[in-house]
């Protein structure tokens, strides 16, 4: 049991029920990047399939997709925004470009992302079965509760488990559509279907996560608890020094 999830003698610091939905919305927006994060996820693949559909040139399509991914990173650097979503997009596109260039098969541009989606689906399901749902590990720090939900907030742990099941099953359903198409469809068909499946499953999973967490108990703010404990400890030491000086 870690210091962030063990029971304490202090009163848990939680978010007021009236603010629970607003806090949940803000946390999901931060964790998953919001509208801008979705655009950064879709744009490189959309550019790749558009160019390839027009001229069937793997090199031009791959270079254009990688270039726009790097441009999105530069824009975030200039604006001093958070980089995690842009960097993840660049790495994903870069792996796709390298893989497609190595094999000479344009469809392989999509394969690393498809394998990542499959691995993520399995991770959501396995971690939930192990009692540590992945969505809780992702959102715990965002809600400032870290791992306190594991032992101190069972209702919240249950909500995280439901959300992780939702993510895992939705991503598995997406893979069940895409992997057969990888073998049967041509590059353009696979690309357009993949683009069409980028946002709707993601929005469904995010919405279900919001539904489950909005109905769950409020998160325990372990950072506020630690600050309160530190303040109390300083007060005790100050009082002890005062008594010693009298």
pLDDT tens, residue by residue, 151-175: 999 999 999 999 999 999 999 999 9
**Model confidence over 94-110: pLDDT tens digits?**
889 998 989 999 999 99
**Model confidence over 28-80: pLDDT tens digits?**
766 676 677 778 888 888 899 999 999 888 999 999 999 988 888 888 788 77
pLDDT at 4: 46
- Does this model's pTM top 0.85? My answer is no
Residue 16 in tokens: 């007021």
pLDDT at 6: 47
Q: What is the DSSP letter of 14?
A: B
Percent of the chain with pLDDT over 70: 80
pLDDT at 31: 66
- Whether residue 149 has pLDDT greater than 80: yes
User: Which residues, at least 6 apart from 92, have a Cβ–Cβ distance to it below 8 Å?
Assistant: 112, 113, 116
């Amino acid at each position: 049991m870690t210091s962030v999830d063990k029971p304490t003698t202090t009163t848990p610091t939680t978010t007021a029920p009236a603010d629970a939905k607003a806090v949940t919305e803000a946390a999901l927006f931060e964790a998953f990047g919001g509208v801008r994060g979705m655009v950064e996820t879709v744009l490189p693949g959309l550019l790749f399939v558009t160019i390839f559909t027009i001229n069937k040139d793997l090199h031009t399509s791959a270079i254009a997709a990688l270039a726009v991914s790097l441009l999105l990173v530069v824009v975030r650097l200039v604006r001093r925004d958070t980089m995690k979503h842009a960097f993840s997009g660049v790495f994903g596109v870069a792996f796709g470009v390298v893989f497609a260039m190595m094999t000479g098969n344009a469809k392989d541009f999509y394969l690393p992302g498809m394998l990542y989606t499959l691995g993520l689906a399995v991770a959501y399901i396995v971690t939930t079965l192990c009692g540590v749902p992945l969505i809780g590990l992702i959102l715990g720090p965002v809600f400032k509760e870290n791992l306190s939900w594991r032992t101190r907030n069972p209702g919240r742990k249950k909500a995280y488990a439901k959300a992780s099941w939702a993510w895992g099953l939705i991503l598995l359903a997406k893979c069940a559509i895409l992997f057969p198409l990888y073998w049967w469809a041509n590059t353009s068909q696979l690309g357009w279907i993949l683009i069409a499946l980028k946002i709707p499953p993601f929005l469904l999973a995010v919405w279900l996560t919001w539904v489950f967490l909005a109905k769950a108990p409020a998160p325990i703010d372990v950072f506020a608890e630690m600050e309160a404990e530190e303040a109390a400890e300083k007060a005790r030491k100050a009082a002890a020094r005062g008594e010693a000086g009298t």
